[in-house]
Each structure stands twice: as structure tokens, then as C-alpha cells.
């Protein structure tokens, strides 16, 4: 059986840029896209999970901002050499680790957009992590 334990995280990158193509007066909707990626690296008894999220698109006139955030998180793990356990560990990391880290991303996005003092705080929607990661083939 595989187990993971969240140890710590830090913000490695946090970029907020206003979209110069966005016109508050003429925009009728707010369209903000979300593009997450997850990278996993193993080290002795720790796993490094790098969760990156790109939010928004400069080419979209209905998107007021673009945000790029990268979190690095450390998880302790315990796994046997059984191939099923190794697969279970990968599943735990690609799904549960993201589910653990996503609220930190949501909070950072809300805080960044609020502090821009130009637009209301943007709150990322809650997501089905299993479905999201399956669609991303992580």
C-alpha cells in the first residue's frame, strides 16, 4: 500500500499582468482560462510536486489579466516495491497532491487579483481534480 504525507510547500513563481487588450467598457463577459500542469520528481524519501497554473490569455479581449503561478510542494511517501503500490503512489500524487495544493493556488489568485485594485477578486472555481488530471493525462 502506498501512502503520502504533505510536508511543506513554497511559491516559486507568482506573476500577475494586466491584459492590455482588455477593455473594461466594451467587455460583456469575463473569460479566464485555466491551464494547469504537474511535474513529479522522486528523491530518496521525498517527492517534489511542481504544480504550475497559467490563468488567462493575452489574445483574449475578454480576459482582464494573465497570471502564472508555480508551487513546489514536498510530500513524504511510503511504498513497497509491488508494481501495484508504485502505480497507487503515482495516482495519489497526481490526484491527491493536486487536490491538496489547489486551494493554495485559489487563494493566491484571489489575493493577486484583489490587490490589483482594478478588478474584483477573481476566485477560481472548485474543480474535480481526478477529472482534470485525467483530461491532462498527467
Beta strands in 19-109 (DSSP E): 34-43, 46-55, 65-78
| Chain segment 38-73, per-residue pLDDT in tens | 899 988 789 999 999 999 999 988 889 999 999 999
Q: Any alpha helices (H) in the chain, and if so which ranges?
A: 83-91, 98-115, 129-136
Mean pLDDT of the chain: 87
Instruction: Give this prediction's pTM.
Output: 0.85
Contact 95, 3 (CB under 8 A): no
Q: What is the mean pLDDT of residues 79-88?
A: 83
**Rounded to an integer, what distance in angstroms lies between the CA atom of residue 66 and that of residue 131?**
24
How many residues does the structure list for the chain? 138
**Taking the CB of residue 129, how many other CB atoms lie within 10 A of it?**
18
**Rounded to an integer, what distance in angstroms lies between the CA atom of residue 134 and that of residue 122?**
25
The CATH architecture to which 3-131 belongs is Roll (3.10)
**Rounded to an integer, what distance in angstroms lies between the CA atom of residue 85 and that of residue 93?**
12
pLDDT level of residue 105 (50, 70, 90 thresholds): very high
What pLDDT shows up at residue 138?
46
For the chain, which residues make up each domain, given as ranges? Answer: 3-131
| Chain segment 13-35, per-residue pLDDT in tens | 999 999 998 887 777 777 788 88
Q: What is the mean pLDDT of residues 121-134?
A: 80
Amino acid at each position: 500500500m502506498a501512502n503520502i504525507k504533505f510536508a511543506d510547500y513554497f511559491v516559486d513563481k507568482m506573476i500577475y499582468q494586466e491584459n492590455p487588450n482588455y477593455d473594461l467598457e466594451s467587455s460583456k463577459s469575463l473569460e479566464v482560462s485555466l491551464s494547469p500542469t504537474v511535474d513529479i520528481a522522486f528523491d530518496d524519501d521525498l517527492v517534489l510536486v511542481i504544480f504550475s497554473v497559467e490563468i488567462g490569455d493575452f489574445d483574449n479581449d475578454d480576459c482582464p489579466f494573465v497570471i502564472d503561478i508555480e508551487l513546489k510542494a514536498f510530500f513524504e511517501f511510503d511504498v513497497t516495491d509491488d508494481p501495484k503500490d508504485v502505480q497507487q503512489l503515482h495516482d495519489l500524487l497526481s490526484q491527491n497532491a493536486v487536490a491538496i495544493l489547489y486551494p493554495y493556488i485559489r487563494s493566491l489568485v484571489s489575493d493577486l487579483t484583489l490587490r490589483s485594485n482594478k478588478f474584483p477578486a477573481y476566485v477560481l472555481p472548485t474543480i474535480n481534480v481526478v477529472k482534470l488530471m485525467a483530461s491532462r493525462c498527467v
